[in-house]
Amino acid sequence: MWLLVIHFMLYFVSSYQQFPRLCATREALLTKECCPPWEGDGSPCGTSSGRGFCQDVEVPDQPDGPQYPFSGLDDREKWPLVFYNRTCQCAGNFMGFNCGDCKFGFFGQNCNERRESVRRNIFHLSRAERIRLVSYLNLAKQTVSRDYVVVTGTYREMENGSNPLFADVSVYDVFVWMHYYVSRNALLGGPGNVWTNVDFGHWAPAFLPWHRVYLLHWEHEIRKLTGDMSFTIPYWDWRDAQECEVCTDELMGARNLQDPNLLSPGSVFSSWKALCSRAEDYNNRGVLCDAKEEGPLRRNPGNHNRALVQRLPTSADVEFTLNLPNYDTGAMDRSANMSFRNTLEGFGDPQTGLGNSSRLGMHAALHVFMNGSMSSVQGSANDPIFLLHHAFVDSIYEQWLRRHTPSPSQYPESNAPIGHNSEYHMVPFLPLHRNREYFISSKDLGYEYSYLLDANHRLAESMYPYLEELQSLWPFLLLAGILGGMVAVGIAFAVLAAKRQLKGSPWLHGKRWKNVFALPERQPLIWSNDSGDISHQNYQTTM
């Protein structure tokens, strides 16, 4: 019943992300302006209410690294200028492509209520919370996004905006597409003509800030979709794990017994269809993902290439990575040595810190270990495990920020691979976010991780699911107590009644009957020892 209520609410809830429908029109593309009206007052960017205003987009002119040697060939260059050169600039705590939303960590009609959310260990969720999580994910997968569309052609294929090429997808698949689009190869023109050494969200400094914003927007969309403003993405602490602990039908889906590459039919995720997961096919044809369904989710954890990934990351791997003092080094790509970012991403060895490792570790190791949809960079977000995994990666990033308290200058201003300089706008987000804006603590963005809380709060958090289960059981326990009391009273009355009836019976007073109950023991049951020779060693040892 509550799912029907949520579906009904969708028609009254606005949300804010990329590409907004109101900006996916021929007129918007030809004018290159994305400044939609805020529904609260009908003015572009909520200008009449002081929420924001429409202004020219300013892009940095700092040089990029040599990894991508082209200019003017990819729609993601100098984002978002190929599509829009005017967007909403929001004031104060307002955010969104029309300034109708609040910045991360702020709530309320005027965005002046500060709250801190806590992302929790998925195994510390109660049964009801686990059911809610799976239900929310499935609702997002089954609900066509009312506010967003995704691009299915290049700007050139759109004839410079006069022929818009966009597609409808679900709320969940908006984020699948975003992860594909930021990491796809550059199309240089014609079948098979692509540049593979480019990624606007991976293999370089923006990897951690980009995924931080990605998770924040995803969390935000689930809240808007469900009306549950307390929702947070849980994390899976995979340190020292020997198997996929979240691969159960109660959580992310168990293995299919008939086909180990698929999910168990007992999981709701077994019916999910992937999209944007066939990178090689798109490259061969020289096209973008068309956002059409491409078959079921695939996963076969543990049956991966052992030469590439030997095992899941250990606690020692994480600690070594956290102790690296430099955020990024050298060319700031997969070759970076002693780089926290590169080692956490998985291309630096988590035992030596040397880049271009022949074996993948940390973040990348888990993707390969899953051996299916997760093992493709472009299609990995199809698997809901992606969210649990990246929440934990983000928590390691948060630990590093707190341990080393880096100055803003540690984040590179120039010469990082394209898309990764500090002032670069993250692809493909609207509203716009710069990389440097998320080189800050999660506390400044309104969220915390449960295992980073102080000891008392950690204990309370880990006990929460058990307390909730007891709370749900207390009516039954109370009823059992009442019934037990009634039975005890009934037995007492029966004994008293029997005693009255037998009180005058002569057989109760006979010597023979008394002897039956006479105890042969003549010593006291409790010893009295004034000398103190009897020790209580066993009791003390137990204590």
Asked if 232 contacts 386 with a C-beta cutoff of 8 angstroms, the reply is: no
Length of the chain: 543
Binned at pLDDT 50, 70 and 90, residue 472 comes out as low
- Give the rounded percent of residues in the chain with a pLDDT score beyond 70: 82
What 3-state class would DSSP assign to 449? strand
Mean pLDDT computed over 4-16: 38
Mean pLDDT for 498-512 is 54
- 121 DSSP assignment: B
Predicted confidence band of residue 483 (pLDDT cuts 50, 70, 90): confident
pLDDT beyond 50 at 529: no
Q: What is the pLDDT of residues 114-151, one digit of tens each?
A: 999 999 999 999 999 999 999 999 999 999 998 899 99
pLDDT at residue number 468: 60
Give Cα 29 to chain centroid, integer Å.
33
Q: C-alpha angle with apex 45: 40 to 49, nearest 5 degrees?
A: 50
Q: What is the rounded average pLDDT for all residues in the chain?
A: 88
**Among the residues of 10-123, which ranges form H helices?**
26-31
The pLDDT of 210-231, averaged and rounded, is 97
Taking each helix axis as running N to C, give the angle between helix 362-370 and helix 385-404, from 0 to 180 degrees, rounded to the nearest 10: 170
Per DSSP, which regions of 7-152 are E strands? Answer: 33-34, 52-56, 86-90, 94-95, 101-102, 106-107, 113-114, 117-119, 150-151
Structure tokens at 74: 């990819």
- Cβ atoms of 188 and 58 closer than 8 Å: no
- What domains does the chain contain, in order, with CATH numbers? 21-303+371-453 (1.10.1280.10)
d(CA 273, CA 295): 5
Query: What is the per-residue pLDDT across 438-447, written as a single tens digit (0 to 9) for each?
Result: 999 999 999 9
pLDDT score, position 479: 72
Distance CA 330, CA 501 (A): 98
The whole-number pLDDT of residue 363 equals 98
pLDDT digits (tens, 9 = 90+) for 29-58: 999 999 999 999 999 999 999 999 999 999
Q: So what's the pLDDT on residue 501?
A: 64
Cα–Cα distance for residue pair 417/163, rounded to 1 Å: 32
pTM of the model: 0.84
| Kind plus residue range of the DSSP H or E element containing 2 | helix 2-9
Is beta strand 447-449 parallel, antiparallel or unpaired with respect to 101-102?
A: unpaired
Q: For residue 517, is pLDDT > 60?
A: no
Share of the chain above pLDDT 90, in %: 79
Residue matched to tokens 């491409």: 294
- Give, as one character, the DSSP assignment of residue 322: H
Minimal CA–CA distance to 363: which of 379, 348, 384?
348
Element (H, E) at 6: helix 2-9
Q: How many CB atoms lie within 10 A of CB 533?
A: 6
- Measured CA to CA, the distance from residue 113 to residue 512 in angstroms comes to 85
Among residues 492, 461, 20, 510, the alpha carbon closest in space to that of 221 is found at 20
**pLDDT exceeds cutoff 60 at 542:** no
